[in-house]
Amino acid sequence: MLDTARYLVPPGSRVDLSQHHPDAKTGFEGGKSEGKAALPGYNKRLNALQRRLWAESARSVLVVIQAMDTGGKDGTIRHVFTGVNPQGVRVTNFGKPSERELARDYLWRVHKNTPHDGIIKIFNRSHYEDVLVVRVHGLVPEDQWSKRYRHIREFERMLTDEGTTIVKLFLHISKDEQRERLQARLDEPDKNWKFNQDDLGKRALWDEYQKAYEDALSETSTECAPWYVIPANRKWYRNLVVSSILIESLERMDPQFPEPGEKLDEIVIT
């Protein structure tokens, strides 16, 4: 298992993303082949823990994944959760709010999608869009979005008090890596469908997004719901770090298979 503490954002600290190296591969200097060979073992451990969480059905896990465009959210979900029972895992993608959602408070659509007992719920983007996109693009005034850091801290505290473990992952890529991934979407026919002109507009606001992420990570990494900054330029290493964090989180929870309601050794199948 990797040492994931190096990627944790300590509560109360200020984040400077320039000090986090997206090319890091600490603990797997052997490289890509070694890392990819190790992932199935991580998948197996995660699957075993998820089975216990599902069977126990008393607590839940919420995985929040944020990243710049092309940061690898979909790929992370696909590779990290390979082999995990799909009955116990759900994914929600938060895109542009609908008119119905805009007519309510910004956490309304989020709260109704939080996990029930026994479930690992993955947010592909999340409530953090409401202190990122709305800020960078000026969709709401500062005196409105700046209050949301407190709302989010309190919302996440409520969820954890009620039995949900929250794991928050920022997939950190470099601007050069984003350029290469966007170019690949143009150059490779089987990736053309991924290209969106809007991505170029957001790329032009790279520095503004980095600042917004730094503030969001700093303001909302708490003891009950800390952030991790994941080096994500190397996809194979990103997958190992995320897997390690999830395994550690579930091991701390230590879910248990429930005791049978009857004495099974007295039952004979005829």
Please report the pLDDT score of residue 234 as a whole number: 97
**What DSSP string describes 197-262?**
HHHHHHHTTHHHHHHHHHHHHHHH--SSS-EEEEE-SSHHHHHHHHHHHHHHHHHHH---PPPPSS
CA distances from 42 to 35, 47, 84, 243 (A): 11, 9, 11, 6
| Encoded tokens for 260 | 């049978």
- Which CATH architecture does the domain made up of 4-254 adopt? 3-Layer(aba) Sandwich (3.40)
Please report the pLDDT score of residue 157 as a whole number: 98
Distance CA 270, CA 267 (A): 10
In total, the chain counts a number of residues equal to 270
Please report the pLDDT score of residue 259 as a whole number: 85
Distance CA 118, CA 61 (A): 8
Distance CA 225, CA 186 (A): 38
Low-confidence ranges of the chain (pLDDT < 50): none
pTM of the model: 0.95
Distance CA 102, CA 164 (A): 26
Domain regions of the chain by residue span: 4-254
Please report the pLDDT score of residue 147 as a whole number: 98
- Residue 122: name the closest of 167, 85, 79 by CA: 167
Please report the pLDDT score of residue 269 as a whole number: 84
| pLDDT tens for each residue of 126-174 | 999 999 999 999 999 999 999 999 999 999 999 999 999 999 999 999 9
- Measured over the CA atoms of residue 124, residue 126, residue 132 and residue 135, the dihedral's sign is positive
| Encoded tokens for 208 | 């503004």
User: Given phi > 0 = left and psi -120 to 50 = alpha, else beta, which region is 107?
Assistant: alpha
CB 15 within 8 A of CB 229: yes
CB 60 within 8 A of CB 120: yes
Please report the pLDDT score of residue 4 as a whole number: 94
Helices (H), the chain: 32-56, 73-80, 99-102, 108-111, 133-136, 142-145, 148-161, 175-187, 197-203, 206-220, 235-253
